[in-house]
Amino acid sequence: MENPWKIAQQQFDRSAEILGLEDWLRLKLREPRRVIIVSVPVKMDDGTLKVFTGYRSQHNTARGPAKGGIRYHQDVTLDEVKALSMWMTWKCAVLNLPYGGGKGGVRCNPKTMSTGEIERLTRRYTSEIFDIIGPEKDIPAPDVNTDGQVMAWIMDTYSVLSGKNVPGVVTGKPLDIGGSEGRNAATGRGVYFTLLNYFRNKKQSIGARSVIIQGFGNAGRYAAMLLESAGFKVVGVSDSKGAVYNQNGIDVKDLIRVKAETTSVVNYKEAEKISGEEILYKDADVLIPAALESAITYANADRIRAKIICEAANGPVSNEADKILQERGIIVLPDILANAGGVVVSYFEWLQNMQSYYWTEQQVNEKLELMMKTAFDNVITLAEEKNITLRESALMIAIKRVAEASKIKGLYP
Ligand code: NAD
Task: Please say if the pLDDT value at position 79 is more than 80.
Answer: yes
Q: How many residues are given for the chain?
A: 413
Interval between CA 408 and ligand 1 midpoint (Å): 37
- Split at pLDDT 50, 70, 90, the class of 125 is very high
For 20-102, where are the alpha helices, taking DSSP H only?
23-29, 78-94
The pLDDT value recorded for residue 4 is 97
pLDDT tens sequence across 313-361: 999 999 999 999 999 999 999 999 999 999 999 999 999 999 999 999 9
Arithmetic mean of pLDDT, 236-257: 98
Interval between CA 145 and ligand 1 midpoint (Å): 8
187 close to ligand 1 (CB < 6 Angstrom): yes
Arithmetic mean of pLDDT, 263-274: 98
The pLDDT value recorded for residue 207 is 81
Interval between CA 265 and ligand 1 midpoint (Å): 14
Task: Please say if the pLDDT value at position 368 is more than 90.
Answer: yes
d(CA 310, CA 219): 12
Inside any domain, residue 363 = no
Domain boundary among 141, 168, 195: 168
Which residue puts its alpha carbon closest to atom 23 of ligand 1?
144
Clarify whether residues 232 and 110 are in a common domain. Answer: no
Inside any domain, residue 221 = yes
Which residue range forms the structural domain that includes residue 53?
A: 31-168
Interval between CA 302 and ligand 1 midpoint (Å): 24
Which residue puts its alpha carbon closest to atom 41 of ligand 1?
143
What CATH code is carried by the domain that includes residue 62? 3.40.50.10860
The DSSP element (H or E) to which 70 belongs, if any, is strand 66-73
Task: Please say if the pLDDT value at position 217 is more than 90.
Answer: yes
pLDDT tens sequence across 153-176: 999 999 999 999 999 999 999 999
Interval between CA 356 and ligand 1 midpoint (Å): 31
The pLDDT value recorded for residue 272 is 98
Domain boundary among 282, 305, 338: 338
- For the CA of 172, the nearest atom of ligand 1: 40
- For the CA of 316, the nearest atom of ligand 1: 32
Inside any domain, residue 371 = no
Domain boundary among 140, 168, 196: 168
Q: Which of 253, 175, 186 is nearest to 223 (CA)?
A: 186
pTM across the whole model: 0.98
d(CA 256, CA 180): 23
- Split at pLDDT 50, 70, 90, the class of 206 is confident
Clarify whether residues 205 and 274 are in a common domain. Answer: yes
Arithmetic mean of pLDDT, 23-31: 98
- Split at pLDDT 50, 70, 90, the class of 232 is very high
Task: Please say if the pLDDT value at position 119 is more than 80.
Answer: yes
226 to each of 195, 221, 223, 229, 231, how far by Cα in Å? 11, 9, 5, 5, 9
Task: Please say if the pLDDT value at position 283 is more than 90.
Answer: yes
234 close to ligand 1 (CB < 6 Angstrom): no
214 close to ligand 1 (CB < 6 Angstrom): yes
29 close to ligand 1 (CB < 6 Angstrom): no
313 close to ligand 1 (CB < 6 Angstrom): yes
Arithmetic mean of pLDDT, 207-224: 96
d(CA 389, CA 326): 8
Inside any domain, residue 5 = no
Inside any domain, residue 412 = no
Q: Burial of 362 by CB count in 10 Å (0-12 exposed, 13-18 middle, 19+ buried)?
A: exposed
Clarify whether residues 190 and 263 are in a common domain. Answer: yes
What CATH code is carried by the domain that includes residue 310? 3.40.50.720
The pLDDT value recorded for residue 191 is 98
Ligand 1, from 109, 240, 244: best to mutate by most atoms within 8 Å of Cβ?
240
Clarify whether residues 322 and 240 are in a common domain. Answer: yes
266 close to ligand 1 (CB < 6 Angstrom): no
* Strand ranges of the sheet holding 49-60, from the earlier edge strand across to the other edge: 34-43, 49-60, 101-107, 66-73, 138-142
d(CA 178, CA 170): 10
Arithmetic mean of pLDDT, 137-151: 98
For the chain, give the mean pLDDT: 98
Clarify whether residues 131 and 241 are in a common domain. Answer: no
The pLDDT value recorded for residue 216 is 98
Clarify whether residues 133 and 92 are in a common domain. Answer: yes
- For the CA of 186, the nearest atom of ligand 1: 40
Query: Catalytic residue positions?
Result: 103
CB within 8 A of 59, min separation 6: which ones?
32, 33, 66, 82, 85, 86, 88, 89, 100, 101, 102, 103
The DSSP code for 73 is E
Which residue puts its alpha carbon closest to atom 20 of ligand 1?
239
Give me Rg for the CA atoms of the chain. 20
Inside any domain, residue 264 = yes
Ligand 1, from 94, 187, 336: best to mutate by most atoms within 8 Å of Cβ?
187
Clarify whether residues 120 and 257 are in a common domain. Answer: no
Arithmetic mean of pLDDT, 369-392: 98
- For the CA of 243, the nearest atom of ligand 1: 20
- Split at pLDDT 50, 70, 90, the class of 1 is confident
Task: Please say if the pLDDT value at position 2 is more than 90.
Answer: no
Clarify whether residues 160 and 191 are in a common domain. Answer: no
314 close to ligand 1 (CB < 6 Angstrom): yes
Tell me how many domains the chain contains: 2
